[in-house]
Chain A
């Protein structure tokens, strides 16, 4: 069995079994953590083999190629799968140490990881939809975790909005099948060049709307603050560190590989939307005093950068978008997990995360910002925007740090040592990414190259 199959099948089977067990028992939680560890190890093995020997693909059930469903892992998918899985694992360990409160939580988190893994390694458009639904359905239920009234109404908004996004996605899938007669991504990318531009633009708009809802981009963001502040820290970390990556991946895969002409056509619009997101998220985050609200609005601002980098396009722009998404996922996981904790290590870890969001050198966020600057070096207006966004993030990140850790002691009991260790490890990963950025840089360039050298 190859690493690809192990990475997909182990969490799948484990998730199905775990849903039947009582998740509040400690050993069930650790079983879920073990399944996620296997998933992550297999994904790392997969990523190393992909980076050395190129794309790994597998056709299910020994069907001939073109008939069976293909699983295909290239550098882009493997990289996204690795850091999404890492973020989910960290949040899961954090929650198990605190004590799980609902029966189905461990099973759902493992199923969400299955959906994420499958989505990043599939080469089939409809299969993408199915894995997408698997991950999203788990997320809808996770959003109710805790069971308070606030969580429930947030989950209802989240589910309703995302379902509509999903069906718009399905409409676009139907459109693609109608005009190309294929569901295999590589075949679609070839045949898309012969399609009538007007039709292709319609399809592209559908995909864009669906992924923007997931990403929480400016005009589609309205569900995001309610959900991220309503949910428990571990759930918010899973949603923003793991699930939100679907949006960035989808825009890169569908925009960069399947519809490169339409992406180029829309680049000015994408940059404008990204800039609006950066400013809107930044300004609203400055006006918030509590850490979780600040983080929710900051998330809107951060994805704006990703969209701007995708809009700029080309190998440099795509590499910057990929790198920034990776760094941002780890950052967001770290910050959301610290949002309701207290203690010395927590303060230090929060500071590292805040510095990383701002983009100050020892943290990994600096490398992300540097790549963004590099990709937008030709345009002084964009540079000014990125700089302004950075200044806003400096204000809000340090403002919350000051309120939460300098002025007043947070209410509540002191956090457990195990949990502090988890966020300590996350903070060290952020620092390591900033001190030794070469692997991250070359990985993101490989991943951008996997998009087939799309763009200029």
Chain B
């Protein structure tokens, strides 16, 4: 493999990144172009009925690149550029911290923490029970429990080494989680509109019910692409950040559970919560909270100021470009190959969680948010 450093590494990013930016600009133009069309008697059909905005167009374009134009593999000339997707989304989420205040964060944070903890650990226990019924390998149950319980791919990757999961099994588990996530990512905005969810209700629902973090973000932006306090992404991502904070605790619980059932294995395993916290804690959360602190201190400009406007426009660009990349990492060939018991567990646990979160939102979450 070619080792690129310094200027070479930066130059290697350019072609793929340029394609992502051009696609984002095209998606924005296409949204505006499609807006006035009346189809089947519905005025503004694409926007109002299909909920087709530039975020969804960006994701679909990314999906088309990967699956049609690139035939399943991002070509080497574009690979480095597309790899910046993670950086874009992570930067965007850190910047998102600026739309909260510490007071708002504390008010919603407690509610989010309680709901998320109940859903996360409830799902983990459900998957352990289901895995036992299906006589699944303990390591795979651990990976699926983390993936379905917390936040998909990241939790699967964080848990696998601790429970000695086979890489091929992890690949199948990830394909299952992504397949389910892609489905919910496209269905949720449509359902949210149909059920006339407010931004707050929508954020609570998908932040709790969708398995994978990338898809929570995409789904929120697809519902309402505006990045500002009180929009779907503000609530959905707060829920998501709460989930992310729980990752190390879930990894600890699952690892302890795994080794408690493998006492015969020579040497066993020393498991320390502190070590897991140190190695698995998502550092970007600190950046997110840091931005909230700066915002609360008024260092990022008052609401409605030029600075806050600039920050939000920048976030919209960052997320929009990131969504092209997110789409480009969806490979239907891989998702189609998901199978075996992980698929059964993923579908049953994922659907149960998604539907339960939907009913919880419908009956217990008010339309108005605390902030």
* A and B form one complex: no
Q: Which residues of B pack against A, CB within 8 Å?
A: none
Q: Which residues of A pack against B, CB within 8 Å?
A: none
